[in-house]
Amino acid sequence: MFYMILTLNTHFFHYQECESFQIKRCQRKMKIKAVMIDLSGTVHVGTNLLPGAKEAIVKLKSAKVPIKYVTNTSKESKTSLIRRLKSAGLHIDKDEVFTSLSAARNYIISQNIRPLLLLEKEALEDFEGIETESPNSVVVGLAPTQFHYEKMNEAFNLIKSGGSLVAINKSRYYKSEKGLSIGTGAFVSALEFSTDCKAYVVGKPEKNFFHLALKDFMNDLKPIEVLVAGDDIRDDVLGAQKAGLQGALIKTGKYQEGDEDRFGEPNYLFENLEEMADYVIDQFSDP
Ligand SMILES: [Mg+2]
Rounded to an integer, the average pLDDT of 20-36 is 65
What's the gap in Å between 253 CA and the centre of ligand 1? Answer: 7
Give pLDDT tens digits for 62-71.
999 999 999 9
What's the gap in Å between 208 CA and the centre of ligand 1? Answer: 18
What's the gap in Å between 65 CA and the centre of ligand 1? Answer: 21
What's the gap in Å between 177 CA and the centre of ligand 1? Answer: 13
Decide: 152 and 190 in contact? Cβ < 8 Å: yes
Q: Is 83 left (phi over 0), alpha (psi -120 to 50) or beta?
A: alpha
What's the gap in Å between 45 CA and the centre of ligand 1? Answer: 9
pTM: 0.84
CATH of 30-72+204-284, one of 3.40.50.1000, 3.40.50.2000, 1.10.3470.10, 3.30.1330.30: 3.40.50.1000
What's the gap in Å between 179 CA and the centre of ligand 1? Answer: 13
Q: What is the pLDDT of residue 21?
A: 38
Q: What is the pLDDT of residue 29?
A: 58
Residue 26 has pLDDT above 70, yes or no: no
Across the chain, which distance is largest between two alpha carbons, in Å?
60
What's the gap in Å between 190 CA and the centre of ligand 1? Answer: 23
- Tell me if the bond preceding 205 is cis, omega within 30° of 0: yes
Average pLDDT taken over every residue of the chain: 90
Q: Do the two domains 30-72+204-284 and 114-201 of this chain adopt the same fold?
A: yes
Phi, psi (deg, nearest 5) at residue 268: -140, 155
What's the gap in Å between 122 CA and the centre of ligand 1? Answer: 19
How many angstroms from the chain centroid is the CA of residue 158? 28
What's the gap in Å between 228 CA and the centre of ligand 1? Answer: 11
Residue 218 buriedness (CB in 10 A; 0-12 / 13-18 / 19+): middle
What's the gap in Å between 260 CA and the centre of ligand 1? Answer: 15
What's the gap in Å between 212 CA and the centre of ligand 1? Answer: 18
| Half-sphere exposure for 121 (CA within 13 Å, toward CB) | 1
* Between 228 and 1, residue with greater pLDDT: 228
Give pLDDT tens digits for 173-184.
998 888 999 999
- Side chain identity, residue 190: A
Q: What is the pLDDT of residue 30?
A: 81
CATH number of 114-201: 3.40.50.1000
Residue spans of alpha helices (H) in 176-272: 184-195, 207-217, 239-242, 259-262
Q: Can you give the residue ranges of every domain in the chain?
A: 30-72+204-284, 114-201
Rounded to an integer, the average pLDDT of 227-236 is 97
What's the gap in Å between 160 CA and the centre of ligand 1? Answer: 32
